[in-house]
């Protein structure tokens, strides 16, 4: 009940109700499989089209002071050894823009246009970091480096426990 | 009576509940003038004067970000691009809407403190503005939509035709510096809200606009380099190759999706607040349309 009122409040404060039947003001269509909509500007038209976006972003708070949804707080990872990660799968996650997307910010071997937000991970094994520390870094960077602009992949549920283990195995394979 | 109390309680419950947890990027000091960039990224000296950009920087893939993309503005960029077609259509649409003269009146009147103008010249430079008829701060595109509706035409905020008219109106202020006053009143409130939103971390990456546009200017995300948030509001609506004619709120919608949260409808209060914030950071920079951006 509480949530419903909050949603109504958001509807009221974050934008004009649109009749899309979800959280108004936010461009979503609950009848589409991914809900999230993106604008499409059609040439010589006075109407703005909204088409389905590839991902469902509805669980996340949007840019609005009164959005009642909270972001997850910083979390300590519950890592249990042994690692049991698959480095090949880990690499796929690292390169996948919908999942790890690490290459957007870090230099990774075999990528020609890496980002420069974070340090180069090319020879990460040489740093001799423990599996547990790398796991925490990926799970929730806010514990290890609060000011780093890196998504807390585990705390936000973007990567699963096994996904993170696979990524750690991949980083530990970079001699 | 009892039911009424329950209903009232439910209505007010959200106001009493704890603030939902959100993080904010530590705020830098922002000046409501484009020269404030000197303290933030220091690139201002490279793009300060659009007629005197350094040709060598523009041609250098590692250094061109220092120009804050101003080399894509006229006069440096004399290419014929789709923005020019939008400008042409904007003129035609404007004349059609303004057959009775009432469309223009609607655009130029109703500003706070009765600062009416009579011509389109300079109009672009003081939007967003507080509109006494709408009783809120509104961007130019929102006002175009509103005034077109009074002429029984649909020009949805963010649509091609709305942006075309906006580009035409901006072209009447070409070279004039952006000039919005955020020192008091509703615009000051909007600037403060916009600044806070700019630092609010949301979405599936837990990032704020400031995560990139403050501490990370000059660094690259794959092939794109982040540039200064100063001076970004002078060339909108802009032509983008992959997206077509893009108003500032449509750009925000695209940013939102890239960052991992749902887009808001153009004209939403939160986007207008961010528009006020970014426009104030463009104060003093000349209007430049039609332009293009990647």
Nearest residue to B190 (alpha-carbon basis) of B202, B201, B198 = B198
- Residue B158 structure tokens: 């963010």
Tell me: cis bond preceding B290? Omega within 30 of 0 counts.
yes
One domain for residues A118 and A45: no
One domain for residues B67 and B141: no
Q: Are B261 and A62 within 8 A, CB to CB?
A: yes
CATH code of the domain covering residue B135: 1.10.760
Q: Which residues, 6 or more positions from A66, have their beta carbon under 8 angstroms from its beta carbon?
A: A9, A10, A13, A14
Give me the number of domains chain A comprises.
Answer: 2
One domain for residues B157 and B64: no
One domain for residues B187 and B288: yes
* Domain span holding position B207: 2-78+180-293
Query: Is the distance from CB of A41 to CB of B244 less than 8 angstroms?
Result: yes
A60: closest chain B residue by CA: B203
Nearest Cβ partner of A41 from B21, B245, B256?
B245
- Residues in A closer than 8 angstroms to B253, CB to CB, are 27, 38-39
One domain for residues B193 and B71: yes
From B116, B136, B171, the end of a domain falls on: B171
CATH code of the domain covering residue B222: 1.10.760.10
From B144, B171, B198, the end of a domain falls on: B171
- Residues in A closer than 8 angstroms to B103, CB to CB, are none
pLDDT digits (tens, 9 = 90+) for B231-266: 999 999 999 999 999 999 999 999 999 999 999 999
In a domain, A39, yes or no: yes
Cβ–Cβ contact B38 with A under 8 A: no
Phi-psi region of B267 (alpha: psi -120 to 50; beta: other; left: phi over 0): left
pLDDT digits (tens, 9 = 90+) for B118-139: 789 999 999 999 998 999 999 9
Confidence of residue B9 (pLDDT cuts 50, 70, 90): very low
Full-prediction pTM beyond 0.90? Answer: yes
Q: Is the pLDDT of residue B20 over 70?
A: yes
CATH code of the domain covering residue A119: 1.10.760.10
One domain for residues B118 and B259: no
One domain for residues B86 and B227: no
- Residues in A closer than 8 angstroms to B87, CB to CB, are none
In a domain, A154, yes or no: yes
One domain for residues A48 and A91: no
Q: Which of A48, A58, A104, A112 to mutate to test the interface with B (most CBs of B within 10 A)?
A: A48
Q: Are B206 and A53 within 8 A, CB to CB?
A: no
What's residue B50's pLDDT?
92
One domain for residues A99 and A45: no
In a domain, A69, yes or no: no
Dihedral angle sign, alpha carbons of residues B252, B151, B132, B114: positive
* Domain span holding position A145: 87-172
């Amino acid at each position: 009940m509480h949530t419903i009122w909050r949603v109504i409040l958001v509807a009221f404060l974050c934008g004009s109700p649109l009749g899309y039947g979800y959280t108004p003001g936010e461009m979503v269509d609950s009848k589409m499989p991914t809900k999230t909509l993106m604008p499409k500007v059609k040439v010589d038209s006075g109407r703005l089209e909204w088409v389905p976006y590839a991902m469902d972003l509805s669980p996340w708070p949007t840019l609005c002071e009164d959005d009642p949804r909270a972001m997850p707080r910083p979390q300590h990872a519950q890592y249990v050894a042994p690692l049991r990660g698959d480095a090949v799968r880990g690499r796929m996650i690292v390169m996948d823009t919908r999942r790890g997307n690490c290459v957007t910010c870090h230099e990774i071997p075999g990528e020609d246009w890496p980002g420069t937000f974070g340090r180069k991970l090319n020879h990460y094994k040489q740093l001799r970091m423990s599996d547990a520390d790398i796991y925490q870094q990926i799970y929730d960077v806010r514990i290890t480096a609060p000011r780093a602009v890196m998504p807390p992949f585990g705390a936000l549920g973007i990567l699963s426990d096994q996904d993170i283990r696979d990524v750690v195995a991949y980083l530990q394979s970079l001699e | 009576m009892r039911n009424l109390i329950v209903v009232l309680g439910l209505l007010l419950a959200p106001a009493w509940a704890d603030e939902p947890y959100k993080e904010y990027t530590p705020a830098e000091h922002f000046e409501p003038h484009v020269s404030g960039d000197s303290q933030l990224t220091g690139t201002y000296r490279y793009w300060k004067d659009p007629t005197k950009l350094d040709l060598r920087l523009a041609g250098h893939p590692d250094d061109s970000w220092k120009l804050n993309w101003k080399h894509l503005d006229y006069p440096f960029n004399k290419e014929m691009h789709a923005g020019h077609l939008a400008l042409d259509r904007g003129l035609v649409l404007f004349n059609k809407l303004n057959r009775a003269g009432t469309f223009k009146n609607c655009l130029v009147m109703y500003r706070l403190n009765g600062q009416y103008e009579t011509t389109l010249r300079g109009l672009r430079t003081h939007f967003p503005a507080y509109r006494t008829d709408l009783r809120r701060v509104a961007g130019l595109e929102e006002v175009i939509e509103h005034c077109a509706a009074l002429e029984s035409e649909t020009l949805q905020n963010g649509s091609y035709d709305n942006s075309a008219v906006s580009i035409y109106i901006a072209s009447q202020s070409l070279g004039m510096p952006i000039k919005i006053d955020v020192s008091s009143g509703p615009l000051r409130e909007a600037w403060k809200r916009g600044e806070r939103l700019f630092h609010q971390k949301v979405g599936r990456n837990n990032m704020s606009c400031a995560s990139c546009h403050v501490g990370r200017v000059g660094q690259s995300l794959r092939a794109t380099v982040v540039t200064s948030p100063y001076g970004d509001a002078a060339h909108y609506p802009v032509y983008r190759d992959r997206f077509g004619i893009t108003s500032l709120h449509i750009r925000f919608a695209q940013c939102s999706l890239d960052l991992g949260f749902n887009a808001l409808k153009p004209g939403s209060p939160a986007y207008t607040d961010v528009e006020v914030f970014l426009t104030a950071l463009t104060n003093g920079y000349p209007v430049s349309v039609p332009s293009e951006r990647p």
